[in-house]
Structure 1
Amino acid sequence: MATTAQWVFDRAIHLMDEQNESTGSTKTSDTKEYEFRTLSILNVLRHELYPISDTYAVVEPGKRPIVDELLSFDQEIGLDDGVAQGIMPYGLAAHLMLGENDALANYFSQRYAELYSAMMKSMPSVWEDIPTAYGGLSV
């Protein structure tokens, strides 16, 4: 599944408990301001998260890779689903709650940092032999 901006927005709204109580819909008059700010926030978060995503790829040596800008809610995030689904909703919720409920924003921010750290530590790695200065392989 390729995660979209809408998917992340929906989960953040549910984390914030701002969805419609009877239908569960995240598109309400109360969430209009959140929706307006979401794509800008997600574009910032994507640059923070891109280096720990398995979609990270250096295209040109010596140049830092970047992800394309999100322009719509139905656009794919461009990060692997583990990062997009497991970390991004907390980062978005933290930013959306700033100034409105700082205690909740702080909780989401701490959770985002914990998940980021855990994901970074669990990144798959590749082992390779290191040649010695004299041509043989070290053991």
Structure 2
Amino acid sequence: MSTTAQQVFELAMSLMDELNESSGSADTADTKEYKNRTLAILNVLRVECWPASDTYAVEEPGKRPICPEITGFTAALPLDDGICQGVLPYGLAAHLLLGEDDDKASYFNQRYEEKLAQLRNTPAAWEDITDLYGGIEYGQFVRW
């Protein structure tokens, strides 16, 4: 859990092909409007992504847990690195491009949903099943 909002922003700018060609920087005059909208968009996406994150935990039974708010670009995000680096950049790029380039926004949104679905289906841990009935396996019973 060490990915920052700045790193997600840089990944999204890379996907959108908005990096500065000479320096490779994501923070330019052309991307200032995108950066101004980034934290608000990430705060919406965090709620959607949190149930798929390794950091999701129910602390009080019967009460929905709330994902901590993203308040700055330098603090670590409250989601696991798989979500932050593999899912959020697509969602951010999709939302930043809405109304500007709807074809790209649609593509990025589709990738976001695919990646999120993949991480939601992460297998759970295995555990042994205890045989509570005993004696009926291997055809050892004769009659009831």
- TM-score (normalizing by structure 1): 0.90
Alignment of 1:113-128 (within 5 A): 113-121=113-121, 123-128=122-127
Q: SS of the counterpart of 1:7?
A: helix
Aligned residues: 135
Please name the residue that 1:51 is paired with.
Answer: 51
Contact 1:87 1:115 in 2 (8 A): yes
1:127 Cα deviation (Å)?
3.8
Please name the residue that 2:20 is paired with.
Answer: 20
Distance of aligned partners of 1:74 and 1:137 in 2 relative to their CA distance in 1, 3 Å threshold:
farther
| Matched AA of 1:14 | S
Select the structure of larger CA radius of gyration. 2
1:45 Cα deviation (Å)?
0.6
1:124 Cα deviation (Å)?
3.1
Please name the residue that 2:94 is paired with.
Answer: 94
- TM-score (normalizing by structure 2): 0.87
Measure the CA separation in 2 of the matches of 1:103 and 1:13.
16
Gap regions ≥5 residues in structure 2: 138-144
Alignment of 1:97-112 (within 5 A): 97-112=97-112
Measure the CA separation in 2 of the matches of 1:55 and 1:137.
37
Contact 1:130 1:137 in 2 (8 A): no
Measure the CA separation in 1 of the matches of 2:18 and 2:128.
52
| Cα offsets for 1:16-48 (capped at 9, x unmatched) | 011111101111111111000000000111100
Query: What's the % identity of the aligned pairs?
Result: 59
Please name the residue that 1:61 is paired with.
Answer: 61
| Matched AA of 1:17 | D
| Matched AA of 2:115 | L
Measure the CA separation in 2 of the matches of 1:99 and 1:75.
30
Distance of aligned partners of 1:104 and 1:44 in 2 relative to their CA distance in 1, 3 Å threshold:
same
Distance of aligned partners of 1:59 and 1:137 in 2 relative to their CA distance in 1, 3 Å threshold:
farther
Measure the CA separation in 2 of the matches of 1:87 and 1:93.
10
CA RMSD of aligned residues (A): 1.9
Please name the residue that 1:3 is paired with.
Answer: 3
Q: Runs of 4 or more off by more than 4 Å in structure 1?
A: 128-132
Gap regions ≥5 residues in structure 1: none
